């Protein structure tokens, strides 16, 4: 054994001497027989050494030998006497479970280490580190005494955490206290135990025998210690037990008492397949001194064991419970990850009592701890423990909500940190707590405050704050907290098994007094959870939009993202609302800001996956209608809400599958539709190029209208941002080659790796090779370049400059941004897009990527250089239309039905996409030619016209009878792909929510009317007449169809008949209405 000791005696000799004794060993505590030790001993006793030692009498080698022998003898005797004293004490004072559960080799090493430190008259304070043969590490912490909080202090010293690239999970703990309270000895095992092919029927024979006795009823009601024996349960059937034990480590099975094993197995089953926590408490029947001792068993699904241990210990300490013994084990839960089983023997201290009320509160807060943010934990465990977990969580949530609102007034004074620090100061915390109590009273399911009571109590609090709080910033924040209470319409605060805290907000709370007026969203949901805050913003009652995960790389970037998080969510949702004009769902977006700064790759991914689960499950808390939510969620919205999510940045297929499965478990009406793009039942946007199919339609129409180029017959040049391996850019290249062949000359492409340019057009065979092999543009073969062509990579400064400027430098008829960062062309750099003579490098831009050009830059490029720009909300809308069809398919077809007919359905969807893109593109350029103005503004006018008509119709349909709605149902049927409609439309009322059907009818009619008659027709109608005119329009169209059919059968010259049919098609319905 090699000992490296830094020792201090007592308390008086501590100058420059560390307190701890660290013993490092190569494996399971190397013994004195270790070869390394023998080699060292041999070297010390070698009497042939000629090297001088200061303690030797160099003149006489015999004296040297005698001196050495005497020293060895004295030290041996001294150690022997120390061990003779320590062993009996150790055997008598360590609890019996220690000797059952800790291997003998470990126990011997503990005795040797304790003997050494006792012999040196030092404090009983040491750390031992062991490397096991299978790569695991064991840390043994020995400390003097057993005072409350000692375990928590040790846990905080543990060196391993998820931020380290060498992160090893905590896989087991064993906590013991000496019975004379002289010492605590705790083992922490890191790393997964190697799985061996062992026969669990042998390893767990003691468990199987005990379970068999339970099942056949041969056990007495109580065991020999007075503990109640478990009752028969299907879980304990032999096959079930064997299946469960195959998931467990061998050491866990061997160490487990059979009764304990069955009890923990029941907890395991309660949380298996979920992310939940289950807790049970039992009086300890083994205490000979009749003290209050309790066993607390906890099963935590999918958690970091280290974090679970630390937070549980913190909470027990907060509630005045001392941990006497503890065990932690991890059991596999298959695809769902692992379940951590934590068992603690606790005793109340400082006058606390282990009564039912205490344990009920403890159970509730233990379940919450897994999902609490660090700021909340610090607030309720360290700064103001009297607050309690529930109140602390609301305070930190309100601080997060206030940040994007208040930072607009003063970004420094109202930084996120300053906001929380201000409202939790000793001077103001009582006011914050009183506001939180108002929030809790407002949403207490047993007796919520009425609007009148809320208003009265709010005035009382405002009066107190006005009189007592002199600091203007603190006063503003506390006042805003009261506003948040008044603008909250639903919350899950009283749900026992919630993952995070969710608030359904009146969107007006998010507006700042200083900002310009803008459209108010329909609804906002805020979610506050562990390491994340999330917003979901939508502009219609039924809405769909992607969920994106934002993971800043530094604290500074995180602070900036936090201040702008709601604005980003609002802007994306509003853009989606403009884009969703052709579908039943309004626009929405979810932005989840996650703090995984400084973590390892594994840790970052773990936190992101947990954040997705907590965010989406909390949204379900606020929108599902179940017995649980009816009992625990007070509703001031007054109507059922329907929303759908989609994947966006950093959301994985595993996330999608989990969300859909969870929606089904939670009772969402159409779980398969809750999130689109499920791998098997979705329409992969990149595989089928759905966004690019629409982009190319707008490009085709624009080339014809703006440049008078027929791309089928004439050549044209185009430049693209976004790589051949990207979704929109790669598919656009395939479509250009398919539709126009060599007529389409791609003169420049740039992506993250570099750019390729060729004034004569990049070789199509090479471009398609890159697309098909999913390769970026830096892999373009230079030998395929023509004269003047070049490939630039970002490996050089020159290459970076070329890549970053390609979209400005290269001359082309059209520019399609199909990838790249938002706001690339903005008010500060838009002139770089112009040549020295003021002409544009491309007179036409079709925005395949979102927000590549800012609104200001679009307008200035049009005004100064005549650049015609097809805005993103028009050009790339086909992606969201496809997602809407995925939602319809998920509601109307089973997964098998969809999969069996997928090819035909996708083909029909692509035809629908071409049609919707063609209709809007023709309208845009028709009105651009007729009325002038910039095309981006016209695009917004079109979206606003369709959305206004949809909203008016949706409201009108609420008063319609079922019979009248049924007459309009064909509008929805025609909107759907034919195969989907043929297979399931007869069951539409059974499978599709009534709200969705109404929205579908409204949006189909609105878009039909605007595309046919133009925006002026809709915008000039009085808003209160819009719905009635639209409904009359449907009747008029029906009459026109009948007239056209009659005319087809009439005998008259074909030329005249064709002219009349065209007139009826162009303006017949409008003429019939008498509206011009």
| Pairwise CA distance, residues 855 & 214, whole Å | 73
Please, what is the angle between helix 429-442 and helix 451-468, to 10°?
A: 180
CA 504 to each of CA 206, 491, 561: distance values in angstroms, whole numbers, following the listed order: 52, 6, 22
In 414-487, the DSSP E strands lie at: none
- Picking from 980, 981, 1071, 1003, the residue whose alpha carbon sits closest to that of residue 1033 is 1071
Note the Cα 555 to chain centre separation in Å.
19
| Pairwise CA distance, residues 986 & 433, whole Å | 55
Whether residue 299 contacts residue 261, with contact meaning beta carbons closer than 8 Å, is answered with no
Who contacts 732 (Cβ-Cβ below 8 Å, separation ≥6)? Answer: 689, 692, 695, 696, 720, 722, 816, 818, 848
| Pairwise CA distance, residues 239 & 254, whole Å | 19
Per-residue DSSP letter, 382 = I
Q: Please report the DSSP string for 655-700 in residue order.
A: HHHHHHHHHHHTT-SSGGGSBS--TTTS--HHHHTHHHHHHHHHHH
Instruction: Identify the burial level of 45 via C-beta atoms within 10 angstroms of its C-beta, where 0-12 means exposed, 13-18 middle and 19 or more buried.
Output: exposed
Instruction: Identify the burial level of 1006 via C-beta atoms within 10 angstroms of its C-beta, where 0-12 means exposed, 13-18 middle and 19 or more buried.
Output: buried
CB contact burial 149-187 (16+ within 10 A = b; e otherwise): ebbbebbeebebebeeeebebbbbbbbbbbbeeebbbbb
Residues in the chain: 1076
* Residue that the structure tokens 């923990």 belong to: 264
In 530-610, the DSSP E strands lie at: 532-538, 542-550, 586-594
| Rg (alpha carbons) of the chain, rounded to whole number | 36
Instruction: Specify the 3-state DSSP secondary structure of 346.
Output: strand
* Residue that the structure tokens 């940045």 belong to: 649
Per-residue DSSP letter, 229 = P
**Which of the residues are catalytic?**
589
| Pairwise CA distance, residues 976 & 980, whole Å | 7
| Pairwise CA distance, residues 956 & 804, whole Å | 51
- Picking from 576, 520, 588, 571, the residue whose alpha carbon sits closest to that of residue 873 is 576
Helices (H) and strands (E) in the chain, counts: 40, 23
Sheet strand arrangement including 338-348? 21-25, 126-131, 137-144, 183-190, 170-177, 321-332, 338-348, 294-301, 277-283
Instruction: Specify the 3-state DSSP secondary structure of 183.
Output: strand
**CB pairs under 8 A, 24+ apart, for 985-993?**
985/892, 987/892, 988/892, 991/670, 991/891, 991/892, 992/670, 992/888, 992/891, 992/892, 993/542, 993/642, 993/669, 993/670
Who contacts 711 (Cβ-Cβ below 8 Å, separation ≥6)? Answer: 700, 703, 704, 739, 740, 743, 744
As given in the structure block, the two tokens for residue 940 are 């917004």
| Pairwise CA distance, residues 615 & 127, whole Å | 40
Note the Cα 1022 to chain centre separation in Å.
44
As given in the structure block, the two tokens for residue 851 are 């927000």
| Pairwise CA distance, residues 841 & 815, whole Å | 9
């Amino acid at each position: 054994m090699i000992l490296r000791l830094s020792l201090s005696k007592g308390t008086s000799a501590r100058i420059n001497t560390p307190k701890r004794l660290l013993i490092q060993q190569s494996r399971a505590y190397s013994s004195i027989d270790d070869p390394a030790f023998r080699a060292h001993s041999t070297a010390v006793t070698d009497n042939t050494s000629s090297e001088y030692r200061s303690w030797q009498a160099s003149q006489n080698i015999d004296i040297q030998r005698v001196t050495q022998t005497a020293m060895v003898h004295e030290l041996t005797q001294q150690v022997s006497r120390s061990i003779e004293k320590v062993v009996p004490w150790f055997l008598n004072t360590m609890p019996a479970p220690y000797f059952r559960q800790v291997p003998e080799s470990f126990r011997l090493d503990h005795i040797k280490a304790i003997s050494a430190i006792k012999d040196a008259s030092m404090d009983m304070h040491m750390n031992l580190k062991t490397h096991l043969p299978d790569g695991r590490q064991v840390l043994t912490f020995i400390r003097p005494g057993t005072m409350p909080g000692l375990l928590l202090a040790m846990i905080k010293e543990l060196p391993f955490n998820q931020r380290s690239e060498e992160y090893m999970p905590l896989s087991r703990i064993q906590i013991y206290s000496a019975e004379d309270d002289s010492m605590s000895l705790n083992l922490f095992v890191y790393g997964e135990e190697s799985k061996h092919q062992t026969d669990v029927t042998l390893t767990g024979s003691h468990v199987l025998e005990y379970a068999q006795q339970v099942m056949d009823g041969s056990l007495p009601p109580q065991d020999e210690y007075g503990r109640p024996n478990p009752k028969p349960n299907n879980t304990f059937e032999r096959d079930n037990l064997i299946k469960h034990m195959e998931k467990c480590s061998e050491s866990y099975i061997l160490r487990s008492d059979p009764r304990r094993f069955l009890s923990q197995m029941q907890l395991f089953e309660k949380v298996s397949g979920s992310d939940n926590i289950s807790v049970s408490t039992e009086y300890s029947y083994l205490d000979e001194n009749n003290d209050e001792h309790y066993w607390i068993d906890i099963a935590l699904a999918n958690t970091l064991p280290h974090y679970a241990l630390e937070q549980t210990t913190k909470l027990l300490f907060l509630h005045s419970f001392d941990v006497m013994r503890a065990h932690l084990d991890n059991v596999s839960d298959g695809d769902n990850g692992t379940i951590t089983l934590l068992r603690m023997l606790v005793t109340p201290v400082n006058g606390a009592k282990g009564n039912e009320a205490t344990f009920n509160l403890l159970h509730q807060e233990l379940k919450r701890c897994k999902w609490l943010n660090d700021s909340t934990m610090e607030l309720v465990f360290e700064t103001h423990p009297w607050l309690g977990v529930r109140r602390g969580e609301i305070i930190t949530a309100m601080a997060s909500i206030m940040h994007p609102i208040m930072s607009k007034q003063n970004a420094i004074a109202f930084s996120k940190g300053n906001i929380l620090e201000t409202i939790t100061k000793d001077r103001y915390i009582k006011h914050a707590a009183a506001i939180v109590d108002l929030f809790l009273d407002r949403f207490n399911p047993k007796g919520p405050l009425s609007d009148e009571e809320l208003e009265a109590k709010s005035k009382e609090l405002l009066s107190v704050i006005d009189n007592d709080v002199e600091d203007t910033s603190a006063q503003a924040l506390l006042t805003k907290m009261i506003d948040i209470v008044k603008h909250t319409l639903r919350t899950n605060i009283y749900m026992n098994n919630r993952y995070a805290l969710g608030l359904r907000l009146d969107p007006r709370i998010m507006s700042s007094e200083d900002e310009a007026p803008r459209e108010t969203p329909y609804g906002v949901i805020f979610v506050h959870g562990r390491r994340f805050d999330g917003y979901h913003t939508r502009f219609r009652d039924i809405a769909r939009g992607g969920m994106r995960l934002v993971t800043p790389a530094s604290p500074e970037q995180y602070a900036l993202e936090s201040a702008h998080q709601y604005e980003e969510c609002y802007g994306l949702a509003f853009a989606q609302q403009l884009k969703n004009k052709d579908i039943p769902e309004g626009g929405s977006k979810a932005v989840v800001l996650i703090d995984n700064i400084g973590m390892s790759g594994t840790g970052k991914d773990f936190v992101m996956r947990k954040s997705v689960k907590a965010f989406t499950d909390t949204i379900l808390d606020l929108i599902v209608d179940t017995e649980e939510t009816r009992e625990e969620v007070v509703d001031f919205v007054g109507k059922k809400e329907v929303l759908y999510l989609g994947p966006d940045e950093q959301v994985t297929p595993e996330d999608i599958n989990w969300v859909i499965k969870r929606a089904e478990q939670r009772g969402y009406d159409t779980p398969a539709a809750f999130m689109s793009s499920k791998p098997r039942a979705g329409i992969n946007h990149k595989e089928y190029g759905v966004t690019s199919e629409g982009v190319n339609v707008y490009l085709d129409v624009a080339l014809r209208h703006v440049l008078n180029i027929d791309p089928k017959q004439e050549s044209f040049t185009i430049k693209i941002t976004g790589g051949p391996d990207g979704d929109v850019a790669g598919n656009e290249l395939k479509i250009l080659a398919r539709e126009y062949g060599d007529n389409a000359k791609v003169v420049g492409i740039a992506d993250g790796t570099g750019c390729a340019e060729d004034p004569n057009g990049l070789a199509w065979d090479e471009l398609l090779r890159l697309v098909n092999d999913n390769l970026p543009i830096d892999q373009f073969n230079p030998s395929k370049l023509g004269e003047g062509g070049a490939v630039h990579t970002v490996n050089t400064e020159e290459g970076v400059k070329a890549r970053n400027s390609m979209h400005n430098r290269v001359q082309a008829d059209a520019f399609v941004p199909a990838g790249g960062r938002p706001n690339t062309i903005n008010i500060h750099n838009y002139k770089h897009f112009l040549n020295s003579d003021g002409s544009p490098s491309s007179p036409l831009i079709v925005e395949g990527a979102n927000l590549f050009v800012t609104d200001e830059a679009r307008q200035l490029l049009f005004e100064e250089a005549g650049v015609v720009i097809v805005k993103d909300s028009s050009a790339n809308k086909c992606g969201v239309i496809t997602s809407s069809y995925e939602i319809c398919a998920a509601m109307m077809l089973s997964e098998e039905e969809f999969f069996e007919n997928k090819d035909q359905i996708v083909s029909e969807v692509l035809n629908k996409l071409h049609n919707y893109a063609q209709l809007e593109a023709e309208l845009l350029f028709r009105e651009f030619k007729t009325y002038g103005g910039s095309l981006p503004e016209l695009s917004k006018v079109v979206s606003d016209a369709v959305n206004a008509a949809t909203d008016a119709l949706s409201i009108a349909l609420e008063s319609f009878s079922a019979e009248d709605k049924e007459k309009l149902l064909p509008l929805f049927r025609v909107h759907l792909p034919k195969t989907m409609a043929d297979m399931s439309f007869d069951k539409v009322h059974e499978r599709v929510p009534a709200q969705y059907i109404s929205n579908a009818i409204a949006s189909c009619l609105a878009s039909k009317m605007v595309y046919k008659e133009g925006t002026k027709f809709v915008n000039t109608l009085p808003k209160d007449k819009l719905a009635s005119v639209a409904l009359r329009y449907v009747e008029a169209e029906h009459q026109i169809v009948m007239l056209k059919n009659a005319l087809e059968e009439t005998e008259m010259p074909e030329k005249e008949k064709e002219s009349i049919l065209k007139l009826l098609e162009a303006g017949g319905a409008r003429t019939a209405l008498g509206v011009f």
